[in-house]
């Protein structure tokens, strides 16, 4: 049980922003990564929680200051690649360096008419829904001394391809959904709509919540 978690507050602000029509705003056509991340950052500011933003390729994208939690953000163009995504900084997990990690997946129009467009749907999930293994340690390795003169370095940078909730679940399209481990928190703010179980390696029971209720 984690009654002090920020996750309900963050999820609620995301839902309210979508319902009032708060659009994503991209700075330019070349902004293919940070536009949705900036949208989530604005929601974090609305909650009033203190957080830090990591640098490029850092993990997670946002780290809470007063609580050992973090948020990793993944924007998905729709229609487009939605069933999985590339992780080039860290394999997904619900725990990283002692922090509980949540993932925010949001879909938006692939070819919007302009530089402002809506969040089509959103799933905020505990990282254990994607991968419940907390023992794997991510590490990149470099090999020096390659080539005929020995002055070339081989950069071995790991890339992981992980599923998204939109590829794992049905019934979450055009909705706002929160997925948490069973018993993670006790709240009356949200409506519980069902449960599901992932049965791979480390199977874990998770709860689907959708809300807030009116």
Q: Give me the count of residues in the chain.
A: 214
User: Using an 8 Å Cβ cutoff, are 140 and 156 in contact?
Assistant: yes
The gap from C-alpha 212 to its chain's centroid, in whole angstroms, comes to 19
Q: Which two tokens stand for residue 120?
A: 């089509």
Residues 42, 49: Cα–Cα separation, whole Å: 11
The confidence score (pLDDT) of residue 98 equals: 93
pTM: predicted TM-score of the whole model, two decimal places = 0.86
Q: What does the pLDDT look like over 77-135, one tens digit per residue?
A: 999 999 999 987 789 999 999 999 999 999 999 988 888 999 999 999 999 999 998 88
Q: Which two tokens stand for residue 168?
A: 């794992």
The confidence score (pLDDT) of residue 204 equals: 44
User: Using an 8 Å Cβ cutoff, are 96 and 135 in contact?
Assistant: no
Q: What does the pLDDT look like over 172-194, one tens digit per residue?
A: 999 999 999 988 887 777 878 88
Q: Quote the DSSP letter at residue 129.
A: G
Tokens 């602000």 correspond to what residue?
A: 13
Q: How many other C-beta atoms can be found within 10 angstroms of the C-beta atom of residue 102?
A: 27
What percent of the chain has pLDDT above 70? 89
User: Using an 8 Å Cβ cutoff, are 5 and 185 in contact?
Assistant: yes
Q: Sketch out the chain's domains with CATH numbers.
A: 7-210 (3.40.600)
Higher pLDDT, 2 or 159: 159
The confidence score (pLDDT) of residue 190 equals: 82
User: Using an 8 Å Cβ cutoff, are 79 and 110 in contact?
Assistant: yes
The two beta strands, 121-126 and 176-181, are parallel
Mean pLDDT estimate for the chain: 86
């Amino acid at each position: 049980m984690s009654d002090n978690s920020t996750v309900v507050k963050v999820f609620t602000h995301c839902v309210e922003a979508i319902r009032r029509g708060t659009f994503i705003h991209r700075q330019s056509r070349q902004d293919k990564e940070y536009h949705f991340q900036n949208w989530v950052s604005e929601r974090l500011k609305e909650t009033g929680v203190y957080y830090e933003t990591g640098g490029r390729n850092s993990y997670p994208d946002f780290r809470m200051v007063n609580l050992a939690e973090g948020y990793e953000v993944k924007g998905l163009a729709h229609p487009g690649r939605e069933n999985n995504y590339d992780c080039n900084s860290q394999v997904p997990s619900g725990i990283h360096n002692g922090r509980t990690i949540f993932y925010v997946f949001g879909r938006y129009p692939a070819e919007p008419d302009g530089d402002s467009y809506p969040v089509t749907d959103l799933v905020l999930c505990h990282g254990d829904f994607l991968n419940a293994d907390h023992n794997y340690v991510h590490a990149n390795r470099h090999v020096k001394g390659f080539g005929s003169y020995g002055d070339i370095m081989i950069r071995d940078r790991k890339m992981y391809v992980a599923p998204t909730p939109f590829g794992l679940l049905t019934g979450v399209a055009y909705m706002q959904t929160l997925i948490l481990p069973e018993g993670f928190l006790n709240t009356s703010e949200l409506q519980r709509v069902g449960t599901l179980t992932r049965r791979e390696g480390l199977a874990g029971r998770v709860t689907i919540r959708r809300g807030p209720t009116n």
